[in-house]
Chains A and B, each alone.
Chain A
Amino acid sequence: MSAASTAEPAFVAKTKTGRFTDFVDQRVGGSGILREFGRKVFPDHWSFMFGEVALYSFVILLLSGTFLTFFFDPSMAETHYDGSYVPLKGVEMSVAYSSSLDISFDIRGGLFMRQVHHWAALLFVASIAVHMLRVFFTGAFRKPREMNWVVGSVLLILAMAAGFTGYSLPDDLLSGNGLRIIDGVIKSIPVVGTYISFFLFGGEFPGTAVIGRLYMLHILLVPALILLMIVLHLFMVVVHKHTQYPGPGRNDNNVVGYPLGPVYAAKAGGFFFIVFGVLALMAGFFTINPIWNYGPYDPSPVSAGTQPDWYIGFVDGALRLMPGTFGDWQVEQTWLGFVFSFNVLLPALVPAGILFTVMFMYPWIERWITKDDREHHVLDRPRNAPTRTAIGMAGFVWYCVMWAAAGSDLIATHFHVSLNDVTYWLRALFFIGPIIAFIVTKRVALALQRKDREIALHGRETGRIVRLPHGEFIEVHAPLDEYKRYKLVGFESPEVLPAVPNEHGVVTRKEKRRAFLSKWFFEDRVAPASPAELEAAHGHGHGHEAVEAPEAAKSLSH
């Protein structure tokens, strides 16, 4: 390279920034990367911002968390509070709780940082969850992005782990009761439960070790894993390039959007400051986790209406929903002299287990049913994949029922209803809710598809009522332009794939099951409108389409 550049007149950058770029490039050789990424095209849509929110909240968590570590002391040694919060003066407490109070009351900006950190943590998990819902409902997890879906799911679990380990650190009454519940759940694990509990707490609950151990997990291990997963996640986003919503000019072979530099980088970069600003606003105006109101941890008192952070709520709600007795029959069983606490074990493990297993496996389940091995870069509108959307909503409603159960006591007090009745209703909804959600969602999706067909074929309603010479009233419909129409008709509508014999000419049982699921997935479908149908609708139905679809079109579309 250098030999060649001496022989020929050397390239000289003309602008100052150009010379700077060239300087860096000649030392580290970034020109290839810049050429690849400087103008890389990113599709634009508001729903793509959820992932960005998650990333930015993580950055804010690192910033505010680092500040907090300078002042927090994770020791469970006993001390007597001597800070400036008068109501707790002289109260016996752990050093961890005392230093959390100092951060809140004696360090300028400490309370602000604590609140930023807690709000950002809540937002972090929430934005990951909403981002995953977006990815699921638009089918963005399909080939080639299955592995990135898995990495994202791991990130959700890690985010919850980070949240929980952090929640317990201040060693206040509320978080201590949270740990107590975790201890109870751990002890219900057969064979090793008691040992795990003793090992986690360094002896009996609460011991003097757990805060220090959670602290290490919270500030080192879990964030390091999150960082690693984020790197993997973004690396794969770059490899795959971003998905795009369907529309005119967009297909599986291109990316339509704005170049990274300058527009997309400016929007995304500016968005970081917006997320930060909103979090700062929340931290400034809305109190979160006022630990000074709860007091230090003590195994004896507890306040009514205790709530975990929102993302742990669904497990807590499941714990509440499970009945411990049926009449005189105890769900907890003693077999061969050993205790099986099914009343704790089942709700703690089974719903979360089902949710996460289905979540991790879903891309492969759908791939197996559809036998679809193509790459997908254009997203589905949720209505155009009715069964998938319905499955997602069923899972979502199931989760929400459990989540609502975590606030059963608050529902009862706020709406002045019996706490027991709330629980009975939620127990029923736990089973019926997902089924209703599935049926309703699927019907709504199909209805929306049918509406799309109608609009594509007959135009949109203008609201203009015209009276014809013979007295008939019609509403004038305005035809769509071809771009809007393409958005409504340009989708794939998969059909049932019947069972096919394998190379030995045998239809295997597995294949039969797949065919059954394929039928369940795709037998109800609304095909996209075709040009011939549009022509028929126009040629025949002139002036009539408002009132009744013409016969020709009817036979096609109904």
Chain B
Amino acid sequence: MGNHSDGSPNHSGTVATAGQNEVEKFQDPGIPPHRLRLADTDPKAAKRAERQVALLFGISVVGTLIFLVAYFAIDLGAEDSSIATIRLQNMLLGLGTAFAMLGIGTGIVHWAKALMPDHEVSEERHAIRYEEDRQAAVRIVDDIVEETGIKRRPLIRNTLLGAVALAPLPAVAIFGDLGPRPDNKLAHTLWAPQEGKLKRLARDPDGTPIKASDVTIGSAFHVIPEGLNDLHEGKLNEKAKAVVLLMRLDPASLNPSEGREDWGYNGIVAYSKICTHVGCPVALYEQQTHHLLCPCHQSTFDLTQECKVIFGPASRPLPQLPIAVDDEGYLVATSDFKEPVGPSYWERDMHERSINS
């Protein structure tokens, strides 16, 4: 005895040989003697506790009344009712319920703590199972398995396993109509020219077309394709792919790569607003730095580098929408996006290649 480690490095590891059983242990002194409460010895204190409990229950009654009054006396439909009326009612309903519940709760707990017997009791734990039962149970299971003969008849076992493994397949297949096949729906947006007519860029949300002359240097527009608001079905689906940010910079600060020189007009450029990370709208435009910031996960894109990712969890640049000006001076998209917009998906690369081929 005597060579316990205290955890200091020069001792650690050397103590394991000294079994703890060699060291004498302290005897359990048993449950500490019971200490009487004031209410156990002093009838006055007991009476006082009784009155306190009753008072708490009384508070609960008051709370219930507050609730009922607030519910019936405050009229949400009245002429002069406003959001303040609702707030007031909500507050009083909460206050009433809180008093009603806390009154009962604290009353009962106080009753239990001050007046009900508080002797700590020690009870023996029963074994969860008895040794006999335990062995019998194992024997029974073994016997049952033995009597089925499943171990001796592998043919039965294997065919059963096969059948059971396949049986749930219909249960999976039956969910096949939860949705349509994705096909290449994600690869196309409303920007694609319809019947040879180029789509105009329109303001989000009112849908009025934007003239190139409206776009001053430094300004930014939230843009939807013209005609989106007239859709009767799938409007949000189309909007979730087609929303675009339109900005005008000094043309000298843009550095278009080869083949993309004519995708902008006079320093006006349009980029998909749907983040390539997980699809939040990239709604924050830092005019001074020419950065676009996604407020969900802080992916930051640099407009002067064709929206390359310069910070955050997104991996791909925002897709650019090629734009031009029509003969009336309105901005139009010369084609659909040249790649699928929004978050990446398994078939994305395939779709991108088919768009560009």
- B239 touches which of A111, A188, A207, A299 (Cβ 8 Å): A299
Q: Do A199 and B179 have beta carbons less than 8 Å apart?
A: yes
- Give the residue among B16, B118, B128, B175 with the most A Cβ atoms within 10 A: B16
- B156 in the interface (beta carbon within 8 A): no
Query: Binary interface profile of A, 255-279, with partner B (CB < 8 Å = 1, else 0)?
Result: 1111100110011011111111110
Query: Complex: how many Å from CA A493 to CA B345?
Result: 53
Query: Which residue of A is nearest B97, CB measured?
Result: A280
Q: Do A526 and B101 have beta carbons less than 8 Å apart?
A: no
Q: Do B279 and A194 have beta carbons less than 8 Å apart?
A: no
Q: Do A324 and B274 have beta carbons less than 8 Å apart?
A: no
Select the stretch in B42-50, B306-314, B329-337 that faces chain A.
Answer: B306-314
- Chain A residues with CB under 8 Å of B304's CB are none
Query: Complex: how many Å from CA A47 to CA B298?
Result: 39
In whole Å, how far is A35's beta carbon from the nearest beta carbon of chain B? 13
- A344 in the interface (beta carbon within 8 A): yes
- B344 in the interface (beta carbon within 8 A): yes
A contact residues, range? 35 or more
In whole Å, how far is B298's beta carbon from the nearest beta carbon of chain A? 6
- B260 in the interface (beta carbon within 8 A): no
- B108 in the interface (beta carbon within 8 A): yes
Q: Do A257 and B121 have beta carbons less than 8 Å apart?
A: yes
Query: Which residue of B is nearest A335, CB measured?
Result: B349
Select the stretch in B140-148, B161-169, B280-288 that faces chain A.
Answer: B280-288
Known: A278-B102, A339-B345. A177 touches B93 (CB 8 A): no
- A270 touches which of B30, B112, B297 (Cβ 8 Å): B112
- Give the residue among B15, B19, B100, B205 with the most A Cβ atoms within 10 A: B15
- B65 in the interface (beta carbon within 8 A): no
- Chain B residues with CB under 8 Å of A338's CB are 346-347, 349-350
The total of Cβ contacts below 8 Å across the A-B interface reads 387
Q: Do B295 and A325 have beta carbons less than 8 Å apart?
A: no
Select the stretch in A3-11, A130-138, A469-477, A483-491 that faces chain B.
Answer: A483-491
Query: Complex: how many Å from CA A493 to CA B4?
Result: 11
* B interface secondary structure, majority: loop
Query: Binary interface profile of B, 112-135, with partner A (CB < 8 Å = 1, else 0)?
Result: 110011101111110010000000
Query: Complex: how many Å from CA A63 to CA B92?
Result: 20
- A253 in the interface (beta carbon within 8 A): yes
Q: Do A302 and B281 have beta carbons less than 8 Å apart?
A: yes
- Chain B residues with CB under 8 Å of A12's CB are none
Q: Do B20 and A495 have beta carbons less than 8 Å apart?
A: yes
Q: Do A337 and B350 have beta carbons less than 8 Å apart?
A: yes
- Chain B residues with CB under 8 Å of A205's CB are 237, 240, 279
Query: Complex: how many Å from CA A459 to CA B258?
Result: 82
In whole Å, how far is B11's beta carbon from the nearest beta carbon of chain A? 9
Q: Do A248 and B29 have beta carbons less than 8 Å apart?
A: yes
Q: Do B123 and A111 have beta carbons less than 8 Å apart?
A: no
- Chain B residues with CB under 8 Å of A112's CB are 89-90, 93-94, 97
- A41 in the interface (beta carbon within 8 A): yes
- A467 in the interface (beta carbon within 8 A): no
- Chain A residues with CB under 8 Å of B175's CB are 199
Query: Which residue of B is nearest A377, CB measured?
Result: B125
Q: Do A558 and B297 have beta carbons less than 8 Å apart?
A: no
- B182 touches which of A195, A269, A298, A330 (Cβ 8 Å): A195
Q: Do A256 and B101 have beta carbons less than 8 Å apart?
A: no
- Give the residue among B30, B94, B111 with the most A Cβ atoms within 10 A: B94
Known: A41-B123, A300-B205. A262 touches B297 (CB 8 A): no
Q: Do A341 and B344 have beta carbons less than 8 Å apart?
A: yes
- A419 in the interface (beta carbon within 8 A): yes
- A285 in the interface (beta carbon within 8 A): yes
Interface of A with B (CB < 8 Å)? Answer: 40-41, 84-85, 104-106, 108-109, 111-112, 115, 144, 177, 180-181, 183-185, 187-195, 197-207, 209, 239-241, 248-249, 251-259, 262-263, 266-267, 269-278, 280-285, 297-306, 316, 319-325, 330-332, 334, 337-339, 341, 343-344, 347, 375, 377, 408-409, 419-420, 423, 446, 450, 482-483, 485-486, 489-490, 492-493, 495-496, 498, 519, 522-532, 555-558
Given contacts A277-B102, A375-B128, A486-B29, 16 further A-B contacts (CB under 8 A): A85-B83, A184-B342, A184-B343, A187-B343, A192-B346, A258-B118, A258-B121, A273-B104, A278-B98, A280-B97, A302-B283, A316-B297, A343-B313, A423-B298, A523-B5, A523-B13
